[in-house]
Every structure is written in structure tokens, then in C-alpha cells.
């Protein structure tokens, strides 16, 4: 899509300095810009690039004063904060990529499903019985949406996602490719002969509003009740959430973390990559867990931990200094033992 400098300035509440009708159709970094693109200048160390840029439009600060002549083909849009303005355009450009509507063929949408306004369902999708898709939901190609699933307004389900039956996905959630929501929890019971029998998993998964789930992440359905991810939490790629786990509001959890069944994670936590959280634990609020930590006990509010098994980061750092010196300390101990033995021999003589 093409936009004029005038249209962009109106969106950004800026002022055009140049041709208001000049057109652009793409965004670019100032040092890589070409004709027909829009760029921005906010960091002073990039100022030199604006005098030779091939961009058609550049967003600059209101008080930007060129030290020498600018390219004749360049139009400026003056704004209060160039970086923030460019961020707005990036967001708008991102949204435009997903402004698809309608149902592509071949796909299957059950006649018993309820589909809201301005919904997009890509080719080769399956939408089961009694599914409810809110207004503006985007379901990209090759997705499976199981029976009885409810997806809230403005949610986006990327290509290849599998959503099992009875899942609840809130408004504006984003589920990235390859994620599996609602697969069976890992529940098996050994019989008298040690043979494992599967325990039926009859619960579901609930994602509250504004949750984001990364690519190839899996969230297991509850044995009974619900596995819950609360409002605003962001899950990275390749995360495993076990059955009946509950993750609170506005957490960020980094790739390859595993949260075992029935554990409860509070609000506003930061959990690093490859963290393992054992089952039936309680993690408080505003906890920070460093990457590759193993959590085997409850963690109170506000703690920062590291290690496996994890403990408070301050003692961990001091312990790690000692750990690295262990080979040197062992040599010193061996030397001291030899010296002590020699002293004993002399005393005995």
C-alpha cells in the first residue's frame, strides 16, 4: 500500500517539510533506504546519513536543523519524538499484514460454529462444532480449532497451530506457528503389575486476554478443571506447560522452560531460558529466575534465584567464585597435607 507524506504526518501529528503528496510504500533504515521508502533520524550518530539518503521521506525532530543541503528528493516530517513516531508506523505496517477477511477454500467450518465479523480463516483450516470466533479473529492456513473452542475478539492464530477441544482463548491473544494448546496432560497410573494406564484428561486450557504463546510451545489440558495462563503473560518459543498449572498475570517466560503440572506461578515474574520448575510448587510475585535454573521448592515474593538446585543469586555468585577455584584449592590442600606429613616425620624423628 502507498501513503502520502500528508497522510503519514496526519497519523503522527507531525508537520510536512517538503512535498505533501510524495508517496512511499515501505520502511527502511536510514543507511539502507532507497527510493519510495520512509526512514527516521533520532540518534545523532546517524545524522551524517541523512545528507546522502535515498529515502523519499524522513521523520525527524521538530527542531532538526540541517548543517548542509539535503537531497532534493527528500521530504521531512517533523515530529516531537522521531523514534516513537517510527514505532507507530512499524506497528501500523505490522497490522496491515494481518488485515485479511473471509474464508479461503479449501477449508472446513462447521455449520454449528459461530463466526464473528471481519474474521479470516485461511486455506486448509478445520473449525469444529460449536466453535465461537469473535470479531476480527484471524486464523491462518493449516490450523485446527477443536469442538467447543472459544476465541475472543482480535485474536490471531498463526499457521499450523493446533487448538484442542473446549479451549478458551481470550481477546487479542497471539498464538504462533506450531503451538499446541490443549493436548492431553501427562497423566498415567501404574497398576499392580507396574503397567501404566492412561488417566483421562477431561479438563481444558484457558488463556486470558492479551496472552502471547510462542512457536512450538505446548500447553497441556487439565486432568480436571483448567490449565490457566492469565492476562498479559508472554510465553516464548518451545515452552512446556503441564496439566493444571496456573501462570499469573504479566509474566515473561523465555524459551525451553518447562513448568510441571499443578504448579502455580504468580504475577510479574521473569523466568529465563531452560528453567525447570517441578510440579506442585508455588512461585510468588515479582520473582526472577536466571536461565538454566532448577526450581524444586516454593519461592516467596521478590526473590532472585539462580542455579540447579536454585538458591538466592547473591550467595550463588559468591559460591560460583569458590567453585571455579576448586582445582587451585585442591592443589593447595594437597601441598599443605604433604607439608604437615613432613613436619610429623621430623617431629617423630
> Strand 240-241 vs strand 258-259: parallel, antiparallel, or unpaired?
parallel
Q: Give the count of beta carbons closer than 10 Å to the beta carbon of residue 72.
A: 6
- CA dist., res. 199 & res. 44, Å (int): 63
Give me the DSSP letters along 105-152.
SS-EE-TT-EE-TT-EE-TT-EE-TT-EE-TT-EE-SS-EE-TT-EE-
> What letter does residue 335 receive in the DSSP assignment?
H
- CA dist., res. 35 & res. 121, Å (int): 35
Residue of 176, 243, 250, 268 marked catalytic:
243
- CA dist., res. 37 & res. 33, Å (int): 6
Q: Residue 232 has which C-alpha cell? A: 498479559
Which residues does residue 276 pair with via DSSP β-bridges, in sequence order?
258, 294
Question: Cα(first)–Cα(last) distance of the chain, in Å?
Answer: 98
Q: Which residues contact 157 (CB under 8 A, 6 or more apart)?
A: 137, 138, 139, 140, 143, 145, 151, 163, 169, 175
Residue that the C-alpha cell 484457558 belongs to: 206
Query: 146 and 165 in contact (C-beta within 8 Å)?
Result: yes
Count CA within 13 A, CB hemisphere, residue 149.
27
Residue that the C-alpha cell 536466571 belongs to: 290
243 catalytic per annotation: yes
Q: Which residues are catalytic?
A: 243
Amino acid at each position: 500500500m502507498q501513503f502520502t507524506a500528508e497522510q503519514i504526518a496526519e497519523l503522527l501529528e507531525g508537520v510536512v517539510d517538503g512535498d505533501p503528496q510524495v508517496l512511499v510504500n515501505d520502511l527502511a533504515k536510514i543507511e539502507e533506504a532507497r527510493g519510495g521508502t520512509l526512514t527516521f533520524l533520532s540518534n545523532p550518530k546517524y545524522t551524517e546519513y541523512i545528507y546522502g539518503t535515498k529515502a523519499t521521506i524522513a521523520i525527524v525532530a521538530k527542531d532538526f536543523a540541517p548543517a548542509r543541503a539535503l537531497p532534493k528528493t527528500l521530504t521531512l516530517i517533523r515530529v516531537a519524538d522521531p523514534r516513537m513516531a517510527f514505532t507507530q508506523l512499524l506497528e501500523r505496517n505490522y497490522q496491515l499484514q494481518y488485515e485479511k477477511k473471509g474464508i479461503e477454500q479449501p477449508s472446513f467450518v462447521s455449520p454449528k460454529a459461530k463466526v464473528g465479523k471481519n474474521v479470516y480463516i485461511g486455506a486448509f483450516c478445520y473449525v469444529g462444532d460449536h466453535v465461537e470466533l469473535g470479531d476480527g479473529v484471524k486464523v491462518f492456513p493449516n490450523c485446527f480449532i477443536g469442538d467447543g473452542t472459544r476465541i475472543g475478539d482480535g485474536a490471531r492464530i498463526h499457521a499450523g497451530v493446533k487448538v484442542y477441544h473446549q479451549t478458551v482463548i481470550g481477546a487479542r491473544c497471539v498464538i504462533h506457528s506450531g503451538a499446541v494448546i490443549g493436548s492431553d496432560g501427562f497423566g498415567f497410573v501404574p497398576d499392580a503389575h507396574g503397567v501404566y494406564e492412561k488417566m483421562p484428561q477431561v479438563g481444558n486450557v484457558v488463556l486470558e486476554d492479551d496472552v502471547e504463546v510462542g512457536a512450538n510451545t505446548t500447553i497441556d489440558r487439565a486432568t480436571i478443571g483448567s490449565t490457566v495462563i492469565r492476562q498479559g503473560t508472554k510465553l516464548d518459543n518451545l515452552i512446556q506447560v503441564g496439566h493444571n498449572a496456573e501462570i499469573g498475570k504479566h509474566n515473561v517466560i523465555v524459551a525451553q522452560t518447562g513448568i510441571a503440572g499443578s504448579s502455580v506461578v504468580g504475577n510479574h515474574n521473569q523466568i529465563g531460558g531452560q528453567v525447570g520448575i517441578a510440579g506442585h510448587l508455588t512461585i510468588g510475585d515479582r520473582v526472577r529466575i536466571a536461565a538454566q535454573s532448577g526450581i524444586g521448592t516454593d519461592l516467596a515474593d521478590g526473590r532472585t534465584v539462580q542455579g540447579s538446585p536454585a538458591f538466592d543469586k547473591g550467595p550463588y555468585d559468591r559460591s560460583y567464585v569458590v567453585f571455579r577455584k576448586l582445582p587451585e584449592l585442591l592443589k593447595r590442600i594437597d601441598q599443605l597435607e604433604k607439608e604437615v606429613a613432613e613436619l610429623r616425620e621430623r617431629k617423630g624423628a
